[in-house]
Amino acid sequence: MASLSIHSKKHKVAVVGSGNWGTTIAKVVAENVQAHSDLFEQEIQMWVYEEDYQIPKDSKHYDAGSALSTKPQKLTQLINGLHENVKYLPGIALPKNIVANPDVADTVKGSTILIFNLPHQFIGRVCDGLRGKVIPYARGISCIKGVSVSDQGCELFSESIGKKLNIYCGALSGANIANEVALEKWCETTIAYDPPAMDSKQPTPAGSPSASSADLPSLQKSESKSMKLAALPAEYPPLNHANVRTLFHRPYFHVRMVKDVAGVSLGGALKNIVALAAGFVDGLGWGDNAKSAVIRIGILEEVKFGMQFFSHTCRSETFTEESCGVADIITSCSGGRNFRCAKMAVKEGKPIGEIEERELNGQKLQGTSTAYEVHSFLKAMAMEKEFPLFEAVYNILEGNNKPEDIPKLVEAHSTDDV
């Protein structure tokens, strides 16, 4: 339990991003700061990429007599006036302590907890705009799914953010479809958070020199030797697992805390390749046994990828036991878009690109790009043979193999070492 009296300051929380998932997470934490006023300040600033939006005539918010309805309005004004993100999360009432802010630097001002939830291609630009504007001892949580993989290497988004802003950044990922969470349908999530030990011990008084790199966890050690993180002043409640969990955990959104940032981030990226494979075998009509075999093999290739390339920090349990691993992969292989499009492609005998164009309204499948990126990375590491399912998906997309080949392609690797 958090102690109530010994900390003179409370944490201020900002959410950077306000799409479908960003707004949903803002709702979750806005509810929790209300329920835990001993730990958190009551206002949640939420950064909104400003745009004009015209309320549609069929919206319950449309009022022909109101200026808000008759012409396009600033999205921030609509959100703050209606307490609803009418564009990206329509129909969901937001707590009134969420304040939409079009100025990203102003959004994070004075905040000790920064939640990043925006499309990954904007991370660089947004962080550039935040440099020098962030409290040095702030801590981040990235809710951005995926990792950046190429033949150059493999970088976690939480790492990119942490390095750009010189703060520690953890990661949140799980079997979470934004709309279902927004509707308060029950699910679970995983938060990986492993900041410098000084945060929970709080041995250094406010304003004292930051800890040496010897105190940093291994991920930070390996990735940012030159980074010096500022200690959280003792006036604040510690940002330990219990308090971070308190900020995110709801009766409908169960949080498990882990330390493995790499594993949590990788699960959200690699599952999309597995979902394509599951769609391929399901499209062949091979039934639930084959699909669950693909999922099982996919989980083990995720484990192998993590242990191979993030051996400092990765734990196999993150993939096999947590929501960000096994649960997210199951959900993605049940009805996710990668699964559905791959299945349609096989059933209709059409290239997946054609299905993507027809079904996704110009959006792109994450699974296909991740399959190519991971292949390119594995090839650069000369390790394609160690990941037969990931490679099978790449080769099926490339036309080098057929979905029917999957059992043969994974077979040689299915023996144990006895």
Provide the annotated active-site residues: 271
Q: Which residue has the tokens 């959104």?
A: 253
Distance CA 12, CA 32 (A): 12
Residue 100 or 276: the one with the smaller Cβ distance to a copy of itself is: 276
Nearer to a copy of itself, 233 or 325 (CB): 325
Which 335-364 residues touch a copy of itself, going by CB under 8 A?
A: 335
Min separation Cβ 210 and a copy of itself, Å: 23
Q: How far is the C-alpha of 155 from the C-alpha of 139, rounded, in Å?
A: 19
**Rounded distance, CA 220 to CA 226, Å?**
10
Say which amino acid occupies 291: K
In sequence order, what DSSP letters do the residues of 375-386 get, joined into one string? HHHHHHTT-GGG
Across-strand partners of 171?
A: 142, 192
Residue span binding a copy of itself (CB under 8 A) among the ranges 3-11, 19-27, 129-137, 327-335: 327-335
Residues in binding contact with a copy of itself, number by CB under 8 A: 55
CA 189 to chain centre: 10
Q: How far is CA 89 from the centre of its chain?
A: 18
Instruction: Output the smallest distance, CB 185 to a copy of itself, in A.
Output: 5
**Nearer to a copy of itself by C-beta: 100 or 294?**
294
302 binding a copy of itself? (CB under 8 A): no
246 binds a copy of itself (CB under 8 A): no
Q: Is 321 in the site for a copy of itself (CB under 8 A)?
A: yes
109 binds a copy of itself (CB under 8 A): no
CB of 245 to a copy of itself, least distance (A): 7
Q: From the CB of residue 218, how many other CB atoms can be counted at a distance below 10 Å?
A: 14
- Contact call for residues 309 and 258 (beta carbons, < 8 A): no
Residue 314 is classified by DSSP as: -
Q: Which is nearer to a copy of itself, 164 or 296 (CB)?
A: 296
Residue 257 engages a copy of itself in binding (rule: CB under 8 A): yes
**Around 123, how many Cα atoms within 13 Å sit in the side-chain half-sphere?**
25
Shortest distance, position 62 Cβ to a copy of itself, whole Å: 29
Do the Cβ atoms of 8 and 235 come closer than 8 Å? yes
Residues 20 and 178 sit within 8 Å (Cβ to Cβ): yes
Query: Residue 213 gets which letter from DSSP?
Result: G
In angstroms, give the least distance from the CB of 108 to a copy of itself: 27
Which of 296, 372, 376, 383 contacts a copy of itself by CB under 8 A?
296
Of 10, 11, 87, 291, the residue at the interface with a copy of itself (CB under 8 A) is: 291
String of contacts with a copy of itself for each residue 398-417, x by CB under 8 A: --------xxx-xx--xxx-
- 370 in contact with a copy of itself (CB under 8 A): no
* Residue list 183-222, contact with a copy of itself (CB under 8 A): 185-188
Residue range at the interface with a copy of itself (CB under 8 A); choices 6-14, 204-212, 214-222, 292-300:
292-300
**Termini Cα distance of the chain:** 47
Query: Please, is 227 exposed, middle or buried when counting C-beta atoms within 10 Å of its C-beta (0-12, 13-18, 19+)?
Result: middle
Query: Contacting a copy of itself (CB under 8 A), which of 61, 109, 241, 347?
Result: 241
Q: Is 275 in the site for a copy of itself (CB under 8 A)?
A: no
Task: Tell how many helices (H) and how many strands (E) occur in the chain.
Answer: 19, 12
Q: What string of DSSP letters covers 109-155?
A: TT-SEEEE-S-GGGHHHHHHHHTTTS-TT-EEEE----EEEETTEEE
Q: How far is the CB of 209 from a copy of itself (least distance, A)?
A: 27
Name which of 329 and 352 has its Cβ closer to a copy of itself. 329
Structure tokens at 238: 């510690």
d(CA 32, CA 294): 38
Nearest-approach distance from CB 35 to a copy of itself, in angstroms? 15
Min dist CB 29 to a copy of itself, Å, is 18
- Regarding 35 and contact with a copy of itself (CB under 8 A), the answer is no
d(CA 259, CA 261): 6
69 binds a copy of itself per the rule CB under 8 A = no
391 binds a copy of itself (CB under 8 A): no
The alpha-helical segments, DSSP class H, found in 157-231 are 157-165, 178-182, 198-201, 218-223
Which residues ranging from 130 to 189 are in contact with a copy of itself (CB under 8 A)? 175-177, 180-181, 185-188
The site for a copy of itself (CB under 8 A) is made up of 175-177, 180-181, 185-188, 240-242, 245, 251-252, 254-258, 281, 286-293, 295-296, 299-300, 303, 317, 320-323, 326-328, 330-331, 334-335, 406-408, 410-411, 414-416, 418
